[in-house]
Amino acid sequence: KAGVTQTPRYLIKTRGQQVTLSCSPISGHRSVSWYQQTPGQGLQFLFEYFSETQRNKGNFPGRFSGRQFSNSRSEMNVSTLELGDSALYLCASRNLRGTQEDEQYFGPGTRLTVT
């Protein structure tokens, strides 16, 4: 089974621009979560989508948004980029089968650099 894929892998943007990152989950996984990872803050949750609906959202400003398509693929968008948005953006998918929490499987990430 193919793993979680993310595109692009690397991105350089200028302050004020916007960016869209893409994530394809493991086949059969309907839940997709996004995380931001920085050296200072570690891994921080952005949002989770399940069946095209946002299921949960972290404490990030409204400049960060996402969506999920009917094939479970997801995109996240960051508008009006700031220098502090430079980070590794990770996507994770999981199965959500039952009452226990299923493990999340992460993609390789998109390294975003804002100059």
Partner 1 sequence: EDQVTQSPEALRLQEGESSSLNCSYTVSGLRGLFWYRQDPGKGPEFLFTLYSAGEEKEKERLKATLTKKESFLHITAPKPEDSATYLCAVHRGQAGTALIFGKGTTLSVSS
Given 11, 20, 30, 58, the residue binding partner 1 (CB under 8 A): 58
The C-alpha torsion from 43 through 44 and 48 to 54, rounded to 10°, is -170
Q: Does 33 bind partner 1 (CB under 8 A)?
A: yes
Residue among 44 and 79 whose Cβ is closer to partner 1: 44
Beta strand pairing status for 74-78 and 64-68?
A: antiparallel
Given 43, 52, 77, 84, the residue binding partner 1 (CB under 8 A): 43
Question: DSSP assignment, residue 109?
Answer: -
Q: Does 101 bind partner 1 (CB under 8 A)?
A: yes
Question: DSSP assignment, residue 55?
Answer: E
d(CA 115, CA 113): 6
Biggest alpha carbon distance in the chain?
44
List the interface residues with partner 1, window 59-88 (CB under 8 A). none
Sole window of 14-22, 62-70, 72-80, 103-111 interacting with partner 1 (rule: CB under 8 A): 103-111
Q: Which residues contact 98 (CB under 8 A, 6 or more apart)?
A: none
Shortest reach from residue 33's CB to partner 1, in Å = 7
Residues in the site for partner 1, rule: CB under 8 A? 4, 33, 35, 42-45, 48, 55-56, 58, 90, 92, 100-101, 103-109, 111
